[in-house]
Amino acid sequence: MPECQNCSSFVTRRYVRVFTPEGRETPRVCPSCEDKIRDGSDVRAARSTRGN
């Protein structure tokens, strides 16, 4: 099962296919990450917390 490189959370293969660059098997950041977010094709530090 694929895991996020940042927080080690489980991600689906569908998420990997849609949100990772071609040739990568694991995403650099996922929706469970509280400290980083996707910004276009890059990853950046979150400007605010994303608590549930």
For the stretch 32-41, pLDDT in tens is: 888 888 888 7
Distances (CA, A) of 33 to 6, 36, 50: 7, 6, 8
- Domain extent listing, the chain: 13-45
Q: How far apart are CA 32 and CA 7, in angstroms?
A: 8
Residues 6+ apart with CB under 8 A from 8: none
Q: How far apart are CA 6 and CA 45, in angstroms?
A: 11
Instruction: Give yes or no for residue 49 having a pLDDT over 80.
Output: no
Highest mean pLDDT among 2-6, 21-25, 36-40: 2-6
pLDDT at 52: 54
E strands of the chain, at which residues? Answer: 36-39, 42-45
